[in-house]
Structure formats: C-alpha cells, structure tokens
Structure 1
Amino acid sequence: MGSRRRVIRRDGRSWLAAASALLCVSAALSAPFTSPGVAQADAAGKGGDYVPVSAVLLDTRSGVGGVTGTRGAGSTTAVTALGVGGVPASNVSALMVEITAIGPTASTALTVFPDGATRPVGASLNVSAGQTLSNSAVVQVGTNGKLAVHNSAGSTHVKLDVQGYFTTSTGSTGAGFVPIKHTYIVDTNVGQGTTAGTIASGASRTATLTGSAIPPGASALVANIRVTGATTAGTLTIAPTNEAGTARQVNYLAGSTHEIMTVKLPSDGQVTLTNSGSAVHVVIATYGYFGSSASTGAGMRPLSAVRLANFYNGGGTSIPSGGRASFRIGGAFGLPTLGIAAAAVNVTVAAPTASGSLQVLPGDALYPPDMISRAHAIYFTAGQTARSYFVVADVRSGAFTIHNGSEGTVQILADLQGWFADPLPTVAIEQNTPTSVLQTQPSGTAAGTIEYAYTDNLGRVRVGHQTDPDNYGSVQWTTISGNDAFTGRPGLYQPTGKPMEVVTQNIDSNIWRSAQTATGSASWNPWTSLGGSMPSPPLAAVQADGTSVLFSIEDGRIWHYRSGDSSPTWKILTTTPWYSYSTFDKLTVARIDSGLRMAATTDDGVLHTAVYYPDGTLSDFTDLGGNVTGSTSMIVYPGYRTRVVGRSTDGSVVTKLQNLDGTWPSGWDTVGTLTAVGTPAAILDPVLGRTAIVVRGVDNEVYRVFETAQGSGAWGDWARVNPDVSDPAVTDPTVAPFAGANGQSWMIVFRNANDATRVYERQVVPTGLRTATPAAEFTAHTLPIPPA
C-alpha cells in the first residue's frame, strides 16, 4: 500500500562515530531555565529594525551624563538614554550599547539594565583590576527613558556609548538583521581587505568591509574585531572613511583582545583603522549585517536577560577540552520554534586552565573538525578571571553550541539578551474543524460535566458546558477567545486533580492555553501563549501520572511540551528533515501501559508508531506501511493492544491491529466498501463491547460500522447514523465516551452547514435487545445555538 521510507534517527550520521569522543555537556541539566515571559513571533509591523547612531551617554571622567568621578562598589548610576545623541525619545525597543570599565581598582562586573527594573543576574562586562575593557550588549530602556549601570566591586570610571537603537515598529528608518556564515573580511596578517603588515602606533589604515560577504548598501555590520600582538594596552578606532558617521573603539590589552560590536557601513564600505597603542595586527570577522531597508532582514526582540546556563563558580561542571554545551532556545522562553534568525547572547568565560578559544556553532549537532575550525571564536588565556563577550549566534535551526577548542577546561555563563525574528506569515483560519468533547472527572458520586470546544469559521473558540450529561438542553456556550483569532481543532484535556484545559493555535502561529477557573466551571482563565510558532494545531494527552503533554509538528519534526517539567518549553522529539528521508505530517496519541502510543503519518502516507515514555524519551519508530492520508484514530484494548484506523488515499477505511506479542501484521484490512472523506473516528462501544468506526461519506452523511462480534476483526455493513432523515455534516465526526444516569455510553458529535452542533447519543438498550436496528442505535440532539 504505497512506498515506504526509512526514518533515520538523529544520531545516525556515519561520521558521528569518529566524533564520539566529543563530550556534550547539557546546558539544561546544569541550571534551571528561567522564563522572561512570552515573546511573540515576528509579523508585519512589529519592528525591531536597527538604526546605527553614535552617542556617549555616560563618561564619569568628563561628567557626560551628569555624573563625575569613579563609581563605588555596589553603586547604581542612572543615565538618560532616550532623546540623546540621535536616539529618538520614542519608538525605541532596545539599544545596542558599549559599556567600558576604565581602570577599576578591583576585579568587578558592570551590569547595564533598564532603570527601575530588577537588576538581572548576568553582568554585561567582567573586568580585572587595572584593565580598561569594553563589551557590547542589547538592553531595553526603563519606562522613564533611562538606563542603569551597576558596579559590583571596587571603584571604576564608567563609559557608556550607544552604537544604535532598535525600533518598536516598522517604519522608514532602520533595517533588519541578515545572518551569514562566519566570514573573515579583514586580516592585516595576510593583506585581506587591506594592506598587509602591522598598524604602527599612531598610524591609520583604510580597510574595505563590503564585498562578497557583505553587500554594498548594507547599513551596518556585526563585527568581531580582534587585535593581536599588542605589547602594551591601547585603543583601535574604526570610523567611516569618506563620510561622517559613527566611530567605534576597541580597548585592547597586551597580547590578544577581541570585541564584538556593530559598525556603521558608509556608502563605499571603507573604514579607517587608527591605532593608539603598540603596533598590532587587526582581524575583522562577521556573521551578519543589517540590510538597506526596513523591509529586509530579521527584527530584534529584546528580553530581560535570561540565564541559559551556568558552568561557573559551582553552578555546573566545567566544559572539558573538546566538550560542548548546546543551548536550544527555539520553543523555549515563549519563543517560536522557527523563524529565529539569530540570538544576542552574553558569554562569560572564566578560569580556563589553558589558553585557547571557544567556537560558537549553529545548531546542536556534533560537528566535524573542519566546521569547528571555521566557526566564530572567543579567545582567552590561561588563568584569566571572568571576562564577558557579546555574541550574535546563528540559531536558524533553533539552537547554538559552544565548543571548547582549548587543551584545558573552561567555565562559562550564557545569558540571552534578545533574538532576531524572521517574518512569519499568519496562519489561515481553517474552515469546518471538528469539535472536541471530554467529560470532566467525577466529583464524588456526581457525574462530571461534558465540555465541548470548537473553533468556528471566524476564528472564535467556543466552549459548551453541559452541566447534566443526560440533558443536552443544559449546554451553556461561552466564546473564550475574546478579540483574538484561532485556527484548527482545540484540544481538551484534564490533568489529574486539576480543572480542564483547552489548547489551540492562535493565527500568530503560537500555541495558546486556557483552563477552567475550577473543575466543571463554565468560566475560563485568560489565555496564556506557550510560544511554539507551529504550522498546525497541537495535540494534547494526559500521562498515567496525571500530567499533560502537548505535541505538535513543525517542518516534519515532532515537538513536545511537558507540563510536568519545572520550566516547560517546546523541545524537538524526533529527527529534523535534514537527518531523515521522511518528514511527519499528522499525529495521533493514545495512552498505554508503558506511556503514550504515537501514530505518525509521514508525508508519503506511511504510518509509523513509537512509544513516548513517561520521562519524555521516545522508542524507535516501527514502520507500519500503508498509504494513509490525514490523521488516524487509535483504540487501546485490554492488554494494551492498539488498533489504528485511517483513510487510504482512495477513500477506503483501513485498519491494523497489533499482535498479542506486540508486533504488527504486515497487511492492512479494508473495512467494507464505503468511500470516506476526512478522518475516521473509532471507539470501543461499551454497550456491545465491539469496535465501532464512524466516518463522513462523500455525500457528507455520517456513517457507522460495528464489528460483527467482540474482538472478531470482522465488520458488518456501513449504515447511516440516521437512516431515516438526511443529516449532512460539514465537519468530521468526533466520538467520545461519557457516563450518565444510565451508565456508560458514547456519542457522535459534528456540526452542520448552519454551525449547529449535532449529537447522536448511543442508546443503552437492555441486554436482550443488543441486536437493535440502526434506527434504535442513536438518539439525535441539537445543542443550543451559541450566542452571536
């Protein structure tokens, strides 16, 4: 039944065996994630464009910024940031700043943060006594238009410069960020981009920054400027050559110093390098630039600094030589799973036992040596105290990795300051999606309420609350979406001992969740965005321990969101498309003894199954073959044997039942001759003890079929649920078990062309009448109409 493709596991690349000596240190295990709140995926009009400017906000040596004299230990200095030196008084989401410590009397840390806000745990700059060093940072401005600078130890002069600002909305100024692979554009050692040879003390040299890597017309460059061979401390100034513009300055120490900053690009792409210290070599590398207009590139989404990981000062294991730490931010902290072009990260390096470098690599895979050698590098010397380095990491795959290329161990801190969001289109509102139905857990002897949820064709999420399981006229409808618009079938689920929850997809592509204010209540709490930026609605399941897991598929990969985790985030569960021959398209989940049975259809119609274990790990996938289109349904029988039911591409309903030994038969069984549309629904009928399958036919009538006997696997004839009156559906049917005054039963739910919800209640008939005719099988109901 169609071709079969093999799914390759993520660690299946042949060269990985040779790289197995590389130790991966999990950042998630070393320190808990902390959430800064939800950051929305990019969309038109959200801004984040960069405008380069040059302004000194604070210099305690000269009194710029209204403060003169060194700043003492534990001091916090506030300085006006908006409306100064080319920075507008409004429409600013964040600033790109350079913070400099000048001659501190003790090793210290300077932290720049919004004035009036809580000071973040991560410092912006770490520096040793007597040094003059700088570092860049992306920082939001306080509501009063000011920034604050905190000095942790000793006394020091402080200088704070603005390199540029990010807009709050898209306008006629600024440009988005375009990441590129790490590329060297200037190297005085070999004469690349300029003439070869050291730049003498007091000398200047012209260098060209645009060319094959950076296109003419780009407005600014994200540059890693490395000064090497210095015998004394000094400064290197980078300024546009033939036009007035922003100048940048690197403070360097004896030996090797590097700093990452933004550099404004003049129209001819040429800058002048001026050296004020000993003769030095200069190397400039880049991994991205800001384009020529606000309609290009990715927009900055600043965050309050988030501690990604702590491998420092007892916070976690040091990273060994050849080891790595991977940081997945896609799907975490409310960020989307895709559409993240790059991340602004402050990396603090401490206590290296050998001189060397860290390599910053895209993704979270193991890399061959040639790729590591070409990656962006952070350089350090043995025994140095903590030093901070601003990094813009390529996270188009949702993650980045720091590799220790030195011969010794090293400790690091990593703090996320913001991310660059690629434009993501809004998700279309899917029409005529099925209704979800679930009965709440009983309260004592009282039967639980029945809850209905669907998204109408306008994007409104409507929840029906049936207080009496036997009275369909008791349903109260509430539109809980407010002015937001959603799409797809909502998921209803109830974690053990908690109120029921609903989860669905906003048209901004993020996954949103709400919960009843109390179990069985008709009122719901406000929505919370879980991020994710998925192209399809989520699927919800409750594990045996009562905790919930959400699943979704993005770009062929299965993602999961575990509510039982201390800080839940979206994480990849399966291979990425570039590691596999197949990508997943649809997913179904059912609870079994060992976890959750997953049935995933690939893009070529082949069904695969795996077990999702309670700890969040996944078994290997088993190929069930087939030529299945759309989603499937599953039934779990006693003994935890699973039956899958789907629709073949020719419209026939097909099924496969797991063998007693846990294996699966090679063939599929066809259920009768009915041609179906949409996804079949299946249930174990508590009245007959036989499997029932319900589906919509090509005439849009709803049909059902039963097994001829319990466990027979043989099927009777398809018949309309209502054999007497035409009752066409515009949605696929849903089946749901429930308990009422007469015991266990089940229902079929669908909506018609008038958006009316139709319910066919399975009749609980006396034992001797269980061969009842179709007319006696179901009782039809129309639920009250929701308010307009």
Structure 2
Amino acid sequence: MQPRTVAGASPEAGQWFKVRGPLVGGQVIAAGKTLTVKVTGKAGMPATGVASVAINIAANGRTGDGTGQLIAYPSGVAMPDTTTIRFRKSFYNQNLVFLKVGSDGNVKLTNDSSSDVLVYADAHGYTTSAPGATAGPTFFPLKPERIGQVSVPANGSVLVAPLGKAGVPSGGVSDVLFTMSGRSATAGKLIVYPSDGSLPTDTNLDYGLNLLVQNQVIGRLGADGKFKITNNGAKAVTVSLDAAGYFATPTAAVRGSTVEPITPSRLVNDARVPAGGTYTVAPLGQGGVPASGVSGVYLNITNVHFDGSGVLRVYPSGTTPSETHAVTFQAAMAYSGAIPAKLGADGKVTILNAGSSEIRLWVDQFAYYKTPTTGCSGTAAPARAKAVADPEPYNPTTVFQASPAAVGSQGILEFAYTDGIGRLMHGRADPASLGSLQWTPIHGQEGYYGQPALAEQADGRLNVLAHNLSGDVWSRTQATKDPAAWGDWVDVQKPMGSTVTAARQDDALDAFAVDGGGSLWALPQYAANDPYKGWIDLGVAGLSTSTAPLAVPVADGLRLFFLDTSGTWRTALYARGTVSNCASLSDPGFSGNASVVTYPGSRLRIFVRGADGHVLTKTQDGSGTFPPAWEQVGDLIAAGSPSALVSPRSGKTEVVVRGTDDRIYSTGETVQGTGEWRAWVDAQPDASVPATDPTAFQYVGTGGPTWSYVFRTINQEMRLYWPEGETARLKASPPAFKGRALPKPPPAR
C-alpha cells in the first residue's frame, strides 16, 4: 500500500526562514551614539514583510575601560530600558537575539556606555509579518537538555547529530537552537553550519582568555540531519551543546509555534539571587506578551557575579533543571545571554544560580511563541468529570495483522485485551496456524483497564497504549520486532477519562483520548519511531468519557469520530496537531462505539448503535460530506456496538454485532457499494456466549486475504469465527460461518 502524505502547513505570519549574511561589517559606534541598521533586502531577506530578524551581534570595547552595553530595538520606537549585549576590551562578546524590525525595515543599535565599541552583526534568519508564498518552519521551545560535549580539533571540524537527542525529534527538523559554551586559554572562533554547506564568513562564538563563554546558535541541519562545527583556532576546544528548541519543517507531524516579536521590555530589574537559589519569572501579560496561548518567550538574561564563575540555568517552572548552560559568568564582569524559554504549566520560567555566590539579575524579553490554534470554533455542553475506573473485564479485543518480518512471509496476528483484575494480555498467532496463539501478560507490576490500542512503528516494532489504573495512559514499544521483545513501560503522565486509540499520520503515530473533563487530546509522535512527547489539547470539549474516540487515516490526515455528553456523534479532521472541519453527525441519545470502513478515495462509512438499539449507517458523498439522515441496517435490535469492515474477498461491507440474546449476528451488502443489506443472521455455529462485543478484522492467511471476528467469553477465553464460501456474486445468501476456540490465556498468579 502506498503511504499517505498529509499536506504540509499553509503559509502563516510568524513562520521561520533561514538566511545568513552580514548586516554590520565592523563599524565603530561611539559612546552614546546610535547606528541605524538596514535589515529588509539584506542578507537574502525580502524587501518587505520582515517581522523579526535573528541577529547575531559581536561587540568589542575600544576606548576607556572598554566595558558597556548595546541596546538593540526596532526603529520607530523610543529606546527601551533593556540590554542586548554586554561588551569588554580585548575580546568579542557575542549574543544572538530575535529582534523586532521597524516598519521602515530598520533596527537600531545604541551604545549606552562611555566607551566606543566595534560591532559586527549578522542575520541568521527572519520571520514574516504576513503569510508568504511558501510555508516556513515553526518553533518548539524545549526544556534545555544537553545534546552532548564535542572536542573540535585545531583548525578542524566536527560533525554533530542532534536528532533524537535532548528532546529534539528524529525527523521533521530544519534547525536546532542550542547554547554552545566552552573555555580555552588560546583565542579562536567557532562557526556552525550545515554538514553539506560551505563555511560561512561570520562567527558563532569567540573564545579565549580562559573565559567560560557561550552564545545561542541556530544550527541548520544538512540533508543527513547533522551540522558541522569548525574551529578557527590553534588548539582544540571542547564545547557543550545544550538544546533549547528546534524548528519543525512544514511537513513535520505536528505544527509548532509561530515567532511573534515585541519591542524589547524589562521583566526583572536588578534582582538578587543567592548561590544555589532560584528566581521565577512570570512573562504572561507583560510587555506585549499575551496572557494565554503562549508556549515560550525569548529572554535575554544579564547578570553580574562578584566572586568566582558559574552558570545560570533556565527551565520551565515546576520542572527539575538539567546540567545545562544558559548564561555563563566570571567574577566582577557583566554577562548577557539569550535563550528561548519554555513556559511551565503555570506560565512561568525559573532561573537557577548554579554559581558559588550571589548574583545581580536583569531579564528582558524580545519575542514570544504563539501556540497554534488546535480546535474548531464553537463550544459544546460542559462535560461531567469521570473518576478513574476499576478494571473492566469485558472490553473488546484489539486485533490487527503486523507487517511481514521478511519478504514472502505473512504478518503475525497481534491481539490485546485487559481482564477483570487489571492484567494486559498480548497474543501472537501465525495466521496459517491459529492454534499457535501464545498469550503473554505484559502489564508488569502495573494494572490496566479498557480496550488497549495497538499500532506499528514505522520500523515495524509493535506499540501498545493502555489506560493505567492510576488514570494515565502508558505506552510500551517492542525493543525488537523479530525476535519480539518488549521495552519498558512509559507513563505519559496525564489522566484520561476514556480509553485510548491510535492511528498513523504519515510515518508517525498519533493517539487520542478524552480527559475526565470531556476535552479531546492528541498524543503525537513528532517523528517516526520517536517516543510520545506529551498530550495536546485539541480544543474540542463536552465529550463523553465512556466512548473512546476513533481515528481513521484519510488522504489529508486522520478523520476523528467522537461522542459528546448529549449522545451526539461528532467528527473532525486531524492533521499535524490541529483539528478542523468539525461537524455533528447525529441527534442526541446515541451510545456505544463507532466502527468505520474506508472505500477508495478516502470515502468513509460509519456504523453506530442508535438510541433505539438499531444499527445505523451513513456514507460520505464525493465531496466528503456526510448526509443528514442515517440509514437503518435491518431490523435487529443490538445490545452492543457494531464492528464493520470491507471483505477482502467479496469487496462488500460486512457487519457483526451482539444481539440482546447474547448471540453474534451478521449482515452485509447484497451488492458492492450499494448499502443494500442482507437480512441479519446468527453468525455463531456453536453455543458459545459472548461476554464482549465482537471485533472484526482483515488479514492475509494461507488462502489469501480474508476476514474473521473474535469475542471473549465470561472466562476470558477467545472464540474466532470466519466466513466460508463468500463470493462477490452472492446477494441475499449470507456466508456460512465456522468457528473454533483459541488457546486459553495463562492462569492468574
């Protein structure tokens, strides 16, 4: 099957575009004077529509004591009381900031000191004030984590592979934003650029004088996902690389934040922070930053340290700091360093003084990261919160056929369910020998409830998601596919009210659940085979927690189906972390789970249990719209939720459901695609009593493509049934079913 590719993000204001080139080429700014710097039309930037520039400034004091500060700000406004870079004699300090551009396309650099200063400034990228012709990357701030330390040889280079490290996904990344810090007694320069690019003429970090120095760097990745660091110095130098964010490509699995520049403003003015102490910054609602809808802010931090040296660590409030460098400092010197700061759950940022004595602290903000709108407009009735449930012994079984481990082989059938005491059972069977089914308890020391979700990673390893008795969804992925061996359980750490489902968008998996308050959330992989990063609120409220959302791959994303608290079926399109095209499909009063089949052209047919117990269906038309009216599928009154599929043998849609007499009944189309249904018939050739709703599934066996359904009895024993003599020519005649008991699960211990 050809993989689907969801359309990339549309052009939007605030998206990122990479350039690199000079803006100021070694110019002296006299004490107290201001230099106007033209930005638009320079260094590869457009002549109009530039909202902000990522400007890397290098400054060296020339007269007097050689110390002071530069203040950078957009033209057309009064000089703010902020700091952009502190400078000194005999050494170039560097700082990269995202700076708002004035309406005339200029920015200003004011030398707010009594010493002349020599300045270089280079553009390292820009954002737009309006949607451009093409979409650009969007930004994800990260809690700072160390990518690693590298030794860059004298007059040599080293390659760095940041993907999959320090919170950076393993794909869908154009640039990584990180702090580079190091120390050397010998002077030199470090230059960062793509692995397949040419050596630029500017510098990312000057080092020497045995000073611990740092600068924020935007590392553009080459086609191999790496960037290069070149050392223009006579001795090797070791540097630490601490990721603080990354830019996601327009085709990444999840869309990030846009960059919204503001006129620089002061948040903290000369605060005292003791050794080992912390200071909490609250940027929301301050200096042009909105009170909500913000994922992070771009801060510039200035400090003075009177005794010894050390580092400041910046991290989301409510989290634990990592061994990273945000701003370094030396005794009796003022330092400035910029960093994108991810906000904590309370909207705040913590700064830790990891030095040995008290510091004085100033904090300014230059931009914020606007969280993308995830949901559809409109509101729903408020939901009722649901407490975490006890184990549910008779939830349906999840079944699918894994991809073949080798060319010419058949994929293994994978089964999963939870039982009444919280065990999570995983079964594997050769489709040519269903009696080979082997059950393995994979719950470890934890307990689970509800129907688990099974999905395949892009590399073929199986992933299971299940609802832990603690309330959180937990994830476990095979360490190896063949031989099959499980890795560790991972708690995704957010309580959910409904059980969880999963589906694939491009090469990445996305899971969905409803929280206890009735809001719909997505749990995405940000790149193929990556761990799940964290839940995203999709902005859809008022949903039932008794019904799991359903996700179906379509050409332009994932089509979601969910039931609200009034019993109304609703739908929306999910793509790259957001939902759109929200619509209601039914009147109130419905219950149970939906089943959806996919026809060529990504046309969907949904089956549900109506308020009166009849099975109802409706199909999208050629424009993708569901009609207002439901069609009733025969006269059977169902006790459970239907399970439907397209028979790979006949091409007809088949449906099974549990009746009020605890028997499984079957119907199907008389002719392909007509929606004309055979009479319901008993589909059990034995006297087994189902304790769960049936699960119908397609698979490839020794005789070719076919389908079956399974249910479990009151003793958790699995029964499997399959149609015989099914052809496309049969009309009113139903297929004959045969069945068998599958091997029993191991006894509880």
2:561 match: 599
Alignment of 1:704 with 2:663, yes or no, is: no
2:350 pairs, out of 338, 346, 351, with: 346
TM-score of the two chains, using structure 1 as the length reference: 0.50
Equivalent residues of 2:498, 2:546 under 8 A apart: no
2:43 match: none
Query: Closer, same or farther in 2 for the Cα pair 1:307/1:744, shift >3 Å?
Result: farther
Partner-residue secondary structure (3-state), 2:510:
strand
1:664 match: 626
Structure 2: distance between partners of 1:686 and 1:412: 52
Alignment of 1:786 with 2:745, yes or no, is: yes
- RMSD across aligned positions (CA): 4.6
2:307 match: 156
Query: Closer, same or farther in 2 for the Cα pair 1:584/1:473, shift >3 Å?
Result: closer
1:455 match: 418
Structure 1: distance between partners of 2:424 and 2:243: 40
Partner-residue secondary structure (3-state), 1:711:
coil
Equivalent residues of 1:108, 1:153 under 8 A apart: no
Equivalent residues of 1:488, 1:504 under 8 A apart: yes
Alignment of 1:503 with 2:447, yes or no, is: no
- Give, in angstroms, the shift of residue 424 of structure 1: 11
Query: Closer, same or farther in 2 for the Cα pair 1:138/1:766, shift >3 Å?
Result: same
- Give, in angstroms, the shift of residue 785 of structure 1: 0.8
Structure 1: distance between partners of 2:514 and 2:271: 50
How does 1:21-420 map onto structure 2 within 5 Å?
A: 29=139, 31-33=141-143, 133-134=273-274, 137=278, 155-156=306-307, 303-304=320-321, 313-316=337-340, 327=343, 329=345, 345-346=349-350, 386-387=361-362, 410=366
The residue type paired with residue 731 of structure 1 is T
- Give, in angstroms, the shift of residue 119 of structure 1: 13
Structure 2: distance between partners of 1:602 and 1:309: 46
Partner-residue secondary structure (3-state), 1:463:
strand
1:738 match: 699
Query: Closer, same or farther in 2 for the Cα pair 1:682/1:133, shift >3 Å?
Result: closer
2:502 match: 540
Structure 1: distance between partners of 2:687 and 2:701: 28
- Give, in angstroms, the shift of residue 459 of structure 1: 0.6
Query: Closer, same or farther in 2 for the Cα pair 1:306/1:760, shift >3 Å?
Result: farther
- Give, in angstroms, the shift of residue 665 of structure 1: 1.1
Structure 1: distance between partners of 2:714 and 2:546: 32
Greater RCO, CA 8 A, separation 6+ = 1
- 1:345-380 Cα distance to aligned partner (Å, 9 max, x none): 41599xxxxxxxxxxxxxxxxxxxxxxxxxxxxxxx
Partner-residue secondary structure (3-state), 1:619:
strand
- 1:637-658 Cα distance to aligned partner (Å, 9 max, x none): 1121111110112211111111
1:527 pairs, out of 453, 476, 489, with: 489
Equivalent residues of 1:598, 1:610 under 8 A apart: yes
Percent identical: 27
- 1:202-241 Cα distance to aligned partner (Å, 9 max, x none): xxxxxxxxxxxxxxxxxxxxxxxxxxxxxxxxxxxxxxxx
2:536 match: 572
Equivalent residues of 2:461, 2:477 under 8 A apart: yes
Partner-residue secondary structure (3-state), 2:435:
helix
1:274 match: none
Structure 2: distance between partners of 1:130 and 1:432: 62
Query: Closer, same or farther in 2 for the Cα pair 1:308/1:429, shift >3 Å?
Result: farther
Equivalent residues of 2:514, 2:545 under 8 A apart: no
Structure 2: distance between partners of 1:454 and 1:499: 19
- Give, in angstroms, the shift of residue 741 of structure 1: 1.1
Structure 1: distance between partners of 2:343 and 2:319: 18
How does 1:422-441 map onto structure 2 within 5 Å?
A: 426-441=388-403
Equivalent residues of 2:403, 2:460 under 8 A apart: no
Equivalent residues of 1:674, 1:697 under 8 A apart: yes
Equivalent residues of 1:449, 1:465 under 8 A apart: yes
The residue type paired with residue 415 of structure 2 is Y
2:480 match: 518
- Give, in angstroms, the shift of residue 483 of structure 1: 2.1
2:300 match: none
Structure 1: distance between partners of 2:694 and 2:325: 45
- Give, in angstroms, the shift of residue 387 of structure 1: 3.4
- Give, in angstroms, the shift of residue 671 of structure 1: 1.0
Equivalent residues of 2:418, 2:449 under 8 A apart: yes
Equivalent residues of 1:641, 1:662 under 8 A apart: yes
Which segments of 5 or more consecutive residues in structure 1 lack a partner in the other structure? 1-21, 37-72, 75-105, 110-117, 140-151, 159-299, 317-324, 330-341, 350-383, 389-403, 414-422
Equivalent residues of 1:632, 1:679 under 8 A apart: yes
- 1:295-318 Cα distance to aligned partner (Å, 9 max, x none): xxxxx98634599999x84535xx
Equivalent residues of 2:343, 2:349 under 8 A apart: no
1:684 pairs, out of 634, 643, 646, with: 646
- Give, in angstroms, the shift of residue 121 of structure 1: 9.7
- 1:234-263 Cα distance to aligned partner (Å, 9 max, x none): xxxxxxxxxxxxxxxxxxxxxxxxxxxxxx
1:549 match: 510
- Give, in angstroms, the shift of residue 679 of structure 1: 1.7
- Give, in angstroms, the shift of residue 447 of structure 1: 0.5
Structure 2: distance between partners of 1:127 and 1:638: 56
Partner-residue secondary structure (3-state), 1:636:
strand
2:259 match: none
Structure 1: distance between partners of 2:601 and 2:213: 64
1:473 match: 435
Structure 1: distance between partners of 2:613 and 2:695: 18
Partner-residue secondary structure (3-state), 1:670:
strand
1:748 match: 709
- Give, in angstroms, the shift of residue 138 of structure 1: 9.9
- 1:687-726 Cα distance to aligned partner (Å, 9 max, x none): 221111111111111111111211111111111111x433
The residue type paired with residue 741 of structure 1 is T
Moved more, 488-497 or 619-628: 619-628
Equivalent residues of 1:678, 1:696 under 8 A apart: yes
Equivalent residues of 2:270, 2:360 under 8 A apart: no
Query: Closer, same or farther in 2 for the Cα pair 1:314/1:475, shift >3 Å?
Result: same
- Give, in angstroms, the shift of residue 505 of structure 1: 1.1
Structure 1: distance between partners of 2:325 and 2:397: 39
Structure 2: distance between partners of 1:425 and 1:108: 52
1:165 match: none
Q: Pick the structure with more strand per residue.
A: 2
Query: Closer, same or farther in 2 for the Cα pair 1:583/1:676, shift >3 Å?
Result: closer
- 1:568-623 Cα distance to aligned partner (Å, 9 max, x none): 4334343264xx7999964111111111111122111212222112x222213022
2:407 match: 444
The residue type paired with residue 655 of structure 1 is T
Query: Closer, same or farther in 2 for the Cα pair 1:756/1:301, shift >3 Å?
Result: farther
Structure 1: distance between partners of 2:738 and 2:526: 40
The residue type paired with residue 681 of structure 1 is S
Equivalent residues of 1:560, 1:571 under 8 A apart: yes
Task: Report how many aligned residue pairs link the two structures.
Answer: 447
The residue type paired with residue 142 of structure 2 is P
Partner-residue secondary structure (3-state), 2:708:
strand
Structure 1: distance between partners of 2:573 and 2:608: 19
- Give, in angstroms, the shift of residue 734 of structure 1: 0.6
- 1:733-768 Cα distance to aligned partner (Å, 9 max, x none): 111110011110011011011210011123365777
1:618 match: 579
Partner-residue secondary structure (3-state), 2:640:
strand
- Give, in angstroms, the shift of residue 29 of structure 1: 2.1
Alignment of 1:726 with 2:690, yes or no, is: no
The residue type paired with residue 616 of structure 1 is G
Query: Closer, same or farther in 2 for the Cα pair 1:387/1:660, shift >3 Å?
Result: same
